[in-house]
Amino acid sequence: MHKEINLTIKPEYIKTYQNGYPLISQESIVDWNRVTGEGTIVDLLDHRKKFIAKGYYGRQNKGYGWVLSSKKDEEININYFIKKIKAAIKYRESFYKNENTTAFRVFNGEGDSIGGLTIDYFDGFYLITWYSIGIYTFKNDILDALKSTVEYKGIYQKKRFDVKGQYLDDTDDFICGKKAPEPLIVKENGANFAIYLDDGAMVGVFLDQRDVRKTIRDKYAKGKTVLNTFSYTGAFSVFAALGGSTKTTSVDLANRSRAKTQEQFSINNIEAQDIIVEDVFNYFKYAVRKKLSFDMVVLDPPSFARSKKHTFSASKDYVNLLKEAIQITNKGGIIVASTNASNFDMKKFKDFIAKAFKELNGEYRIEETFALPKDFRVNDIFREGNYLKVVFIRKIG
């Protein structure tokens, strides 16, 4: 049983929670000191002790917890989780029926009414990701709810929280069922990806970029030279090559990116492409020095990254990153600018683009934009949850 206590909302935040805002922030609550443990059920009350919302305490980088219900009598138990998982699966029925795509998100945190929890599907295997110790305390109920709702080959988990000083009942990513082959080959719009469900924090591909990859393949890649920066396992390069690009160059600082990218090319029967293990910013300087240029440049940096010589923050440094890319993009070429930073919106991101071109006296046209795909369901009240921003930019001059 989870302990349940009352907490008082500061007056200026009452309307926010009444309107359905899901994140419980530190500054919105008067008496956080009453909470003694992660996973505590919290009833949020106004100063007159009127019930506003029910949630749980679970600290992560976004806040101190998440709202789970607007109903005072709602019990947060296995039946609650079954109801939420069933609704999430119904919303994604079309994905389960698509034989060309066998990897997608089944449950997307606050977008499916439970912040701090995601569930992904990989060809019959499910991957649960816990983003706080608080949500992890509901593990047994959530796992039982999932097992009773879906047919599965196996279930895995990732813990995206600091376990220092905390006792956890397991240390393994594999939970139950049968273990997935290594690699597990999944499909995305007909292409293959090699996935590893039990090999560190990442599995090998970011599912939220599915629509962007398809667009590169189907509309922009044919006959083009493509530079894919911060390339990870080369997913954009794979789709560019499948779309008929004349050459792809993948650049990433991580040593393992070379073998991982080669593997993705191999399982798609793509002939050898250029894969460079290098700091992206050093590569830009090299490209300028050698007078290299490309028809398409893909920019998909992490929100924050640090190497020996460079620290990158999307909110502070994206303009300079764009300027580097503009200089090695051919006239008429495309820059695919992407960010998953949640601390600024699409308008601000477009301002970055405008500033970069202005400082270089360049001209551009925005061809199209993307946010999160349908399976990454978002809560419209929680704008920062719709974190993905992708802009296809045509360099005119």
pLDDT of residue 371: 98
Is residue 55 within 8 A of residue 72, CB to CB? The reply is no
DSSP state of 115: T
pLDDT of residue 170: 64
What is the block-wise mean pLDDT of the chain (397 residues), using blocks of 10 residues?
94 97 97 94 97 97 95 97 98 98 98 98 98 96 98 96 62 92 98 94 95 98 98 97 98 95 98 95 95 98 80 91 97 98 95 98 98 98 96 96
pLDDT of residue 51: 98
pLDDT of residue 232: 94
Task: Give the phi and the psi of residue 71 in degrees, each rounded to 5.
Answer: -105, 125
pLDDT of residue 91: 98
Please give the order of strands across the beta sheet that includes 174-177: 103-108, 117-122, 125-130, 154-159, 174-177
Alpha helices in 46-205 (DSSP H): 78-91, 93-96, 133-136, 139-149
Which tokens is 144 given? 């039982």
pLDDT of residue 172: 81
Round to whole Å and give the CA distance between 149 and 152.
10
Print the SS3 string covering 248-308. EEEEECCCCHHHHHHHHHHHCCCCCCEEEECCHHHHHHHHHHCCCCEEEEEECCCCEEECC
Domains of the chain with bracketed CATH: 4-69 (2.30.130.10), 78-187 (3.30.750.80), 206-395 (3.40.50.150)
Which tokens is 136 given? 């992890």
pLDDT of residue 161: 87
The predicted model scores a pTM of 0.95
